[in-house]
Amino acid sequence: HSQERLFNFAAGPATLPESVLRRAQSELFIWRGSGMSVMEMSHRGKDFKSIIEKAESDLRSLLQIPPEYSVLFLQGGATTQFAALPLNLCRSPHDPVDYIVTGSWSDKAFKEAQKYSKPNPIWYLHICANETIHGVEYKTYPTPLNPNAVLVADMSSNFCSKPVDVSKFGVIYAGAQKNVGPSGVTIVIIRNDLIAQAQDVTPVMLEYRIHAENHSLYNTPPCYGIYMCGLVFEDLLEQGGLVEEAAKENMVQLKGHRSVGGMRASIYNAMPLAGVQKLVSFMKDFQAKHA
Ligand code: PLP
């Protein structure tokens, strides 16, 4: 292993901004005069409270999240939300819901929902905003015909990659490890009126009401991951927010997903422009040689 950083095109965990990693490195041992690392501090102490509150408020600024929405920092990955959503949004396993299946991830979400709801006529509509494996991304989001219907989106692979009108959604959720931090943190943005009594069988760790009432501190949260997400949010804000623009030399992780093969370059926010330029020129050379 060399000391040089590679252009990492992995789908997730994915590359993080160098400035963020360097900042974390400088604070790793002692966080800002606290005498300890973020990994060691109590999640109930004032230092961690300031970290999680700043992470939330920076994310609210970035996405202009309206006040009537809660932001939850959870664990278990986006995959856990596939079950949490029907458990929380449906009163019983007989409640009808709609899923649009555009690829592997929405298919997984749909299959999980079958255990806890009856996927079909519209009560809520679930979409995957960007199918990471199949490369299918919504450019505009569907507006359910029924005004009471709730739009739910898995934004795992395009979260914070561009502005989004949060008010169009009932729930947005995303694993952090592609655009905004390390794995281990799952972000849920949910309209408060949807935080109600979950189905009786819902495990406490999957209940949105519990996490909202406890400001994501019901149990020990993924403290260090939340801290890292906070650094990324701060970095994005410093760069001016979610502006435009959101890599076999030094380019790694270009192989397609194990289920479909081919080639895939994941270009999340933290991929530097130089990495993309290098990939483009590599592909042009390759085409010229093999056409
Ligand atoms: N949804 C989408 C769109 C994804 O790309 C992924 C992971 O790659 C997942 C869900 C699963 O996320 P997690 O590994 O956080 O459970």
Domain boundaries, the chain: 7-15+244-290, 38-237
Which range is least confidently modeled, 15-19, 52-56, 135-139, 247-251? 247-251
- 173 C-beta closer than 6 A to ligand 1: no
**Mean pLDDT of the 33-51 span:** 98
pTM of the shown model: 0.87
Average pLDDT for the chain: 90
- Helix crossing, 104-113 with 77-89: angle to 10°? 40
Q: Indicate the DSSP class of residue 128.
A: E
- 132 C-beta closer than 6 A to ligand 1: yes
Is beta strand 150-154 parallel, antiparallel or unpaired with respect to 124-128? parallel
Is the pLDDT confidence value at 99 over 80?
Answer: yes
* Closest by Cα among 77, 32, 25 to 51: 32
pLDDT at 261: 67
Structure confidence at residue 249 as a pLDDT band (50, 70, 90): very low
* Closest by Cα among 85, 91, 106 to 171: 85
Structure confidence at residue 271 as a pLDDT band (50, 70, 90): confident
Q: Is the ipTM of this complex over 0.95?
A: yes
More confident residue, 91 or 250: 91
Q: Which residues are catalytic?
A: 105, 154, 178
Fold of 38-237: Aspartate Aminotransferase; domain 2 (3.40.640)
The burial class, CB within 10 Å (0-12 / 13-18 / 19+), for 93 is middle
- 179 C-beta closer than 6 A to ligand 1: no
Atom index in ligand 1 nearest the CA of residue 12 equals: 8
Is the pLDDT confidence value at 250 over 60?
Answer: no
Is the pLDDT confidence value at 122 over 60?
Answer: no
- Ligand 1: centre distance to CA 9 (Å): 16
